[in-house]
Amino acid sequence: MGQTQDDQDTAIRQIAHTATRARRQTLLAALLRQHGSIVQAGPFADMIVPDRAARGDGDLLSKLLGFFEAELHPVIDDIVACAPDLIIDVGSAEGYYAVGMARLLPAAFVHAFDSDAQSQDICREAASLNDVSSRVSVTGQCSPDLLQAILPRGRTPVVICDCEGYERDLIDPRRVPALRAAMLLIECHDFIDPTITQTLADRLSATHTLEGVREGARDPNASPFLQGLDSLDRWLAVCEYRPTMMHWIVARPK
């Protein structure tokens, strides 16, 4: 029996995915030769990022260029303006946000949680490279009980959550009452569980003002490094390989 059209489409996508990932590694190597492992733009500009990536290629090229999750840059600016003294990063991966926030908020302590041991190791390396190790704690999975224990340590806590669907279990003010006083930035993985966004909105609407942020556009032409490349390479460099159109909830305590 021959291949169906769906089978052919899947095979073509797999080949394209493999080829584009390989090309991104070539572009990443060129960027590293020119600028080293230093973020070039965005709120985390000048941060040092370890060369090795925690998962896959870790979107390292996009992060070093300063384009990664660009739709959240205004939210990061807003968080910094509030001068929180405690950041909890759940799903911290290699520490892009955990270490980036520690650099931007020299009076804050950061708790970084990730269930992957390699990610934890890279996050610790990133903290060391950026001289914030004394203010960044890196450990494994965050439970509701653990979150409830840590949140009251801050006067103005912020939770950044990117945990592949686990946000439905974790972000629950009934189980974690201290969430009611925290600012939250939550990536919603509705492609894993389509009820997540509505469930979180229902839980938080009584105590927080909610804002939705959707995945937005990128302008690769704004990067000096990319300006001399052809169109395919420019757009490939800022691609984050999302499985669907992603979105976030920003929840500010009322």
* 208-214 vs 247-253, strand pairing mode: antiparallel
pLDDT of res. 54: 43
pLDDT of res. 102: 98
Residue 8 counted as domain residue: no
pLDDT tens digits along 90-138:
999 999 999 999 999 999 999 999 999 999 999 999 999 999 999 999 9
Residue 41 counted as domain residue: no
Residue 211 counted as domain residue: yes
Residue 59 counted as domain residue: no
Would you list the DSSP string of 37-102?
SB--SSTTTT-B--SS-SSTTTTHHHHHHT-TTGGGHHHHHHHHHT--SEEEEET-TTSHHHHHHH
In this prediction, the residues of the chain whose per-residue pLDDT falls under 50 are 54
For the CA atoms of 111, 151, 202, 184, the dihedral, rounded to the nearest 10 degrees, stands at: -50
Report whether 73 contacts 43 (CB < 8 A).
yes
CA count, 13 A, side-chain hemisphere, 244: 11
Give me the domain span that covers residue 186: 68-253
Residue 83 counted as domain residue: yes
Residue with tokens 């021959």: 2
Residue 25 counted as domain residue: no
Residue 160 counted as domain residue: yes
For position 209, which CATH number holds? 3.40.50.150
CB atoms within 10 A of CB 137: 17
CB atoms within 10 A of CB 23: 14
Domain total for the chain? 1
Percent of the chain with pLDDT over 70: 96
CA count, 13 A, side-chain hemisphere, 151: 24
pLDDT of res. 13: 84
Residue 240 counted as domain residue: yes
